[in-house]
Amino acid sequence: MSAWQVRRPGPIGTGPLEWLRRQVPEPGAGELLVRVSACAVCRTDLHVCEGDLPVHRPLVVPGHEVVGVVAGLGSGVSGYAVGERVGIAWLRHTCGACRYCRRGDENLCPQSTYTGWDADGGYAEYATVAADFAYRLPEGYSDAELAPLLCAGIIGYRALRRAELPPGGRLGVYGFGASAHLATQLALAEGATVHVLTRSAAARRLALDLGVASAGGADDAPPEPLDSAILFAPAGELVPVALAALDRGGTLAIAGIHLTDIPVLDYQRHLFQERSVRSVTANTRVDGREFLDFAGRHRLRVSVTGYPLAAADRALRDLAADRVNGAAVLLTT
Ligand SMILES: [Zn+2]
Ligand SMILES: [Zn+2]
């Protein structure tokens, strides 16, 4: 099969990825072999390629927002059939036994592993996944539209929950890429007033088109205090900006896996009056199922820019330069 692997992690302009022929993987016990039709490009893939995240598997195939059809079954798999459409996401394995797994926080499992980091992912024509960690996908969407739901969508869902937006509340969204544009639609569907703050003019237009109340620059103050905010941009300098925009008792959730340094905070301006700041760490399978269920009931508008699989390096360069509106998706056909 054709696939991309991370040969030499470094800045995306230096060509960390290599396009080559590899063996089609064998599904292990309990695993599905999936013929990939679409794989969305996540900022985390960029962090894996650029070495912001340490190497977990040398020569890994990136990609963890994978849509395809089941092409083979490992031993002991039940409940899936060849030809069925399935999704592969970031969370790949958890131990099921630690204190975090037992209390429903499997996203915090110290034994957790991740697709496209610890194991080969979807920048390839075939990929494998444990049947227990595969997702069934809602009807009414193309494969390209479904792919970004599998990380951007699920993480946006968890970030919105972690932001503890009260019913009918005022939400600030900092950065407006793939995850933010999906979380915004969720929040709007649930009755929130949403203010988007982002440096990209094209993203501001998309946000207004989706029905947000206002769209301003990343450093602008929103037109009213916020009950909750989500920081999607990987920019630590926006943490004090977003905290200062919160109303008393407000919550800021930081959605990214990687963030540049946070400047010194001023306790009075940024934290006092019971403002909170919290991170978002991956997601549980329950988050994934809840979000995909929501996507089946509410038709989300998924803004997609398609690239051939062979152009994954170009898609990543475009993502690094903020040239992608919505989600970049690699297509195998
Ligand atoms: Zn565990
Ligand atoms: Zn991701």
Over residues 22-31, the mean pLDDT reads: 97
The alpha carbon of 145 and the centre of ligand 2 are apart by a number of angstroms equal to: 15
Q: Which residues pair with 329 in a beta bridge?
A: 40, 306
Residue 13: pLDDT band (50, 70, 90) is very high
Ligand 1 centroid, distance to 89 Cα (angstroms)? 18
pTM of the model: 0.93
Nearest to 85 by CA among 134, 51, 24, 127: 134
- Measured in angstroms, how far is the CA atom of residue 283 from the centroid of ligand 1? 13
Task: Give the HSE-up count for residue 261: Cα atoms under 13 Å, Cβ half-sphere.
Answer: 2
Vertex 89: Cα angle to 136 and 52 (nearest 5): 170
How far apart are the CA of 73 and the centre of ligand 2, in A?
25
Average confidence (pLDDT) over 289-318: 96
Taking the centre of ligand 2 as the mean of its atom positions, its distance from the CA of residue 272, in whole angstroms, is 33
114 alpha carbon to ligand 1 midpoint, in Å?
Answer: 13
102 Cα–ligand 1 center, Å: 7
Separation of 91 CA from ligand 1 center, angstroms? Answer: 12
Q: Measure 33 CA to ligand 1 centroid, in angstroms.
A: 25
* Res. 333: pLDDT tops 90: no
CA of 281 to the centre of ligand 1 (A): 14
Place of tokens 């040969």: 7
Percent of the chain with pLDDT over 70: 100
| 47 CA to centre of ligand 2 in angstroms | 10
Tell me the pLDDT tens digit for each residue of 228-287. 999 999 999 999 999 999 999 999 999 988 899 999 999 999 999 999 999 999 999 999
CA of 109 to the centre of ligand 1 (A): 4
Q: DSSP labels for 47-102?
A: HHHHTSSPPSSTT------EEEEEEEE-TT--S--TT-EEEE-SEEE--S-SHHHH
**Which ligand has an atom closest to residue 104 CA?**
1
Segment (H or E) for 280:
none
Contact (CB, 8 A) for 45 and 116: yes
Distance from the alpha carbon of residue 177 to the mean position of ligand 1, in angstroms: 31
For the stretch 107-139, pLDDT in tens is 999 999 999 999 999 999 999 999 999 999 999
Ligand 2 centroid vs 80 CA: distance in angstroms? 25
The yes-or-no verdict on residue 326 having pLDDT over 80 is: no
Q: What is the pLDDT of residue 258?
A: 85
Give the tokens for residue 30: 């309990």
Q: Is 297 exposed, middle or buried (0-12, 13-18, 19+ CB in 10 A)?
A: exposed
CA distance 229 to 213: 14
